A and B are shown apart, each in its own frame.
Chain A
Amino acid sequence: MGATIIEKIIRNNTGKDVKPGDIVTVNVDRVMIHDIFIPFVASKFEEMGFQKLWDPDKVVLIYDHLVPASQVDDTRHFRVGNDFVEKYGMKNIHRADGICHQLMTEAGYVKPGNIVFGTDSHTTTYGCVGAFSSGIGYTEMASILGTGTMWVRVPETIRVNITGTLPKNVMAKDIILRLIGDLGADGATYKALEFAGDTVEAMSVASRMSMSNMAIEAGAKCALFTPDEKTAAYCEMTLTDKEKDLVGDADASYCRVINYNAEDFVPVMACPSNVDHVKPIAEIAGKEIDQVFIGSCTNGRLEDLMAAAEVLKGKKVAPFVKLIVTPASRKIYQQALENGTMAILAEAGAMITHPSCGLCCGRAGGILTDGETVVATNNRNFLGRMGTSKVGIYLASPRAAAACAVAGKIVVPE
């Protein structure tokens, strides 16, 4: 009997054969804590009576949701975080380098086959390099900091096969939105997603990140891609046989298999106010918009900014539309400066902000009010996410978002 990717990762970690439904204790390879939750993690950790971290080098603290501070209360999070780092001898802290989920793989903290937990729900992102990563709360994080272990229920796996060549106006974002629409917001709850097929193999690691990032929007515990030569190049490593074997076996047991032809995908948007409320853009075209946001851990990478720049080159943002661009990391910001992407975006009229979560979590950088409409490349369009509860949030790919910014209304990208 073969195994799925998640079963292999848990088997390698525990040294035991596992099947879906088994409850096992795993050894954690790395954890990530972000600024919003560090005060709560710190107080729970001490309340639990721990004196030291199980392994300070395996703990990463990243400031991103509150950077730079937009409310006076935010500064307390940085103070508590800095004190925690000093008290427990941590080295891995990022105070202004970008969004946590970008940095965890970009800075080399996560490798194929790792088991990683983070205090943010989009921790599923690291499945892009074949790691089992998932979001948890601050109490559970505090217990891992003390013990280095966590109990998990081995999930069933939904296999998603995608074959063929994507149309030019379709990005990885359109694929994952379509899948979430097809599965529903709870369609993968407690389950692992596993992506395969030549379309997926042809994708950059950045595109895979957009997909694993949003798996949580269908309720998934994790979303896994098989590590390949692109993964190895991105992680600056040579894959071992064990890492190369992180592939779903032909005779593995899946709870569901979904097959897509790449040619059948069209540009889509998730309409207000649920991520699974997905429609082809052609069906909603013409709606006037007030703002466009290009950024986030879903779509703030260099290829995303370049896709937007390709659309915006030589054009201007519609006069009544605010286009906000937020790179996912400092490294991406610098790369986009160096290759001319930033110049094109600025020339078109974009407001370019510092790398951070920015508008995605609705605390800074362009919040909206009643009756306004925004096209955004991030991962959630929940009520009140980017301002008042009467803001209409449409989630789209960077290419579609850029096209809308120029048109001043929802349009299908070319």
Chain B
Amino acid sequence: MEKFSGKVWVLGDDIDTDIIIPTEYLALETVNDMAPYAFSPLRPELAGQIQPGDIIVAGKNFGCGSSREQAPEIIKALGVKCVIAKSFARIFFRNSINNGLLLIENGELADVAKEGDTVAVSLNEAITYQGKEYPIAALPDNLMDIINAGGLVKAMRKLNGLD
């Protein structure tokens, strides 16, 4: 099973999609154009600080609010390896899976993780932080199928006999 580790950025509860990307930037042409404005209502400097391979740790209901799929796409465009939160909003969860952004639910890490520390992840098994293991659940088969296909676009291309 895949293993990786990364530096964490710690955010609170109810990080909504208007915080992840405000509506005023949604008509920019590409998600790369939008990415510098990620999280700007809450922490305007954050998008410039996140480095590829970093991990976002957050509280409950991450991604609540609108259906804007740019939210997970921008987080992915910033190079974030995965988001570990106490819980995720429903539409954000589907959008993330469909775009290959890994989400991990864990109820404890957000209360103990300190920004700048490193966490290690064993996919579908456990998170390790400062020597302690935090177990995580495996994703259902139908979601692993989409992830294994490389996202929903690739799954549909396969269906249409293109790849």
Q: From A118, A380, A389, give the contact of B41 (CB < 8 A).
A: A389
Contact with B along A135-152 (1 / 0, CB 8 A): 111111011001100010
Q: A48-B160, A219-B64, A389-B41 are in contact. Are A137 and B19 (CB under 8 A)?
A: no
In the assembled complex, the CB of B71 is this many whole angstroms from the nearest CB of chain A, namely 9
Docked-complex contact A135 and B67, CB < 8 angstroms: yes
Closest to B96 in A: A137
Closest to B59 in A: A186
Q: From A49, A143, A389, give the contact of B152 (CB < 8 A).
A: A143
A237 at the interface (CB under 8 A from B): no
Docked-complex contact B27 and A384, CB < 8 angstroms: no
Q: Which of A66-74, A159-167, A282-290, A324-332 contacts B (4 or more CB under 8 A)?
A: A66-74
Distance in angstroms between the alpha carbons of A247 and B14 in the assembled complex = 33
Q: A362-B23, A383-B19, A384-B22 are in contact. Are A146 and B69 (CB under 8 A)?
A: no
Docked-complex contact B140 and A23, CB < 8 angstroms: yes
Distance in angstroms between the alpha carbons of A134 and B89 in the assembled complex = 13
Docked-complex contact B67 and A383, CB < 8 angstroms: no
A190 at the interface (CB under 8 A from B): yes
Residues of B within 8 A of A93 (CB): none
B49 at the interface (CB under 8 A from A): no
Q: From A48, A74, A189, A361, give the contact of B153 (CB < 8 A).
A: A48
Residues of A within 8 A of B28 (CB): 73
Docked-complex contact B160 and A185, CB < 8 angstroms: no
> Which B41-97 residues sit within 8 Å CB-CB of chain A?
41-42, 60-61, 64-70, 87, 89-91, 94-95
A363 at the interface (CB under 8 A from B): yes
B138 at the interface (CB under 8 A from A): no
Docked-complex contact B27 and A49, CB < 8 angstroms: no
Residues of B within 8 A of A135 (CB): 66-67, 91
A310 at the interface (CB under 8 A from B): no
Q: From B18, B68, B90, B161, give the contact of A384 (CB < 8 A).
A: B18
Distance in angstroms between the alpha carbons of A48 and B69 in the assembled complex = 17
Distance in angstroms between the alpha carbons of A77 and B67 in the assembled complex = 17
Distance in angstroms between the alpha carbons of A49 and B163 in the assembled complex = 10
A40 at the interface (CB under 8 A from B): yes
Q: A73-B29, A121-B65, A363-B24 are in contact. Are A140 and B162 (CB under 8 A)?
A: no
Contact with B along A262-275 (1 / 0, CB 8 A): 00000000000010
Q: From B41, B99, B156, give the contact of A48 (CB < 8 A).
A: B156
Closest to A66 in B: B27
Q: From A44, A119, A363, A384, give the contact of B67 (CB < 8 A).
A: A119
Distance in angstroms between the alpha carbons of A197 and B64 in the assembled complex = 29
Docked-complex contact B157 and A48, CB < 8 angstroms: yes
Docked-complex contact B89 and A186, CB < 8 angstroms: yes
Docked-complex contact A137 and B14, CB < 8 angstroms: no
Docked-complex contact A74 and B27, CB < 8 angstroms: yes
> Which A164-222 residues sit within 8 Å CB-CB of chain B?
185-186, 189-190, 219, 221
Docked-complex contact A36 and B26, CB < 8 angstroms: yes
Q: A137-B98, A219-B64 are in contact. Are A49 and B29 (CB under 8 A)?
A: no
Distance in angstroms between the alpha carbons of A186 and B65 in the assembled complex = 10
B130 at the interface (CB under 8 A from A): no
In the assembled complex, the CB of B11 is this many whole angstroms from the nearest CB of chain A, namely 13
Q: A73-B27, A361-B23, A362-B23 are in contact. Are A49 and B160 (CB under 8 A)?
A: yes
Residues of B within 8 A of A142 (CB): 153, 156
Docked-complex contact B61 and A140, CB < 8 angstroms: no
Contact with B along A40-58 (1 / 0, CB 8 A): 1000100111100000000
Residues of A within 8 A of B140 (CB): 23
Docked-complex contact A189 and B23, CB < 8 angstroms: no
Closest to B31 in A: A40
Distance in angstroms between the alpha carbons of A69 and B18 in the assembled complex = 20
Closest to A274 in B: B14
Distance in angstroms between the alpha carbons of A23 and B143 in the assembled complex = 11
Q: From B14, B19, B29, B157, give the contact of A185 (CB < 8 A).
A: B14
Distance in angstroms between the alpha carbons of A304 and B69 in the assembled complex = 31
Docked-complex contact A139 and B95, CB < 8 angstroms: yes
Q: A186-B14, A361-B23 are in contact. Are A384 and B142 (CB under 8 A)?
A: no
A382 at the interface (CB under 8 A from B): yes
Docked-complex contact B67 and A139, CB < 8 angstroms: no
Distance in angstroms between the alpha carbons of A60 and B6 in the assembled complex = 43
A–B complex contacts, Cβ < 8 Å, 21 sampled: A37-B67, A48-B157, A49-B161, A50-B160, A65-B23, A73-B29, A74-B27, A119-B67, A137-B67, A137-B68, A186-B89, A189-B89, A189-B90, A190-B90, A219-B90, A363-B24, A382-B19, A383-B16, A384-B18, A384-B40, A385-B18
Given A50-B156, A380-B18, 8 other A-B contacts at CB below 8 A? Answer: A44-B153, A47-B153, A48-B156, A121-B65, A139-B99, A186-B87, A189-B61, A189-B90
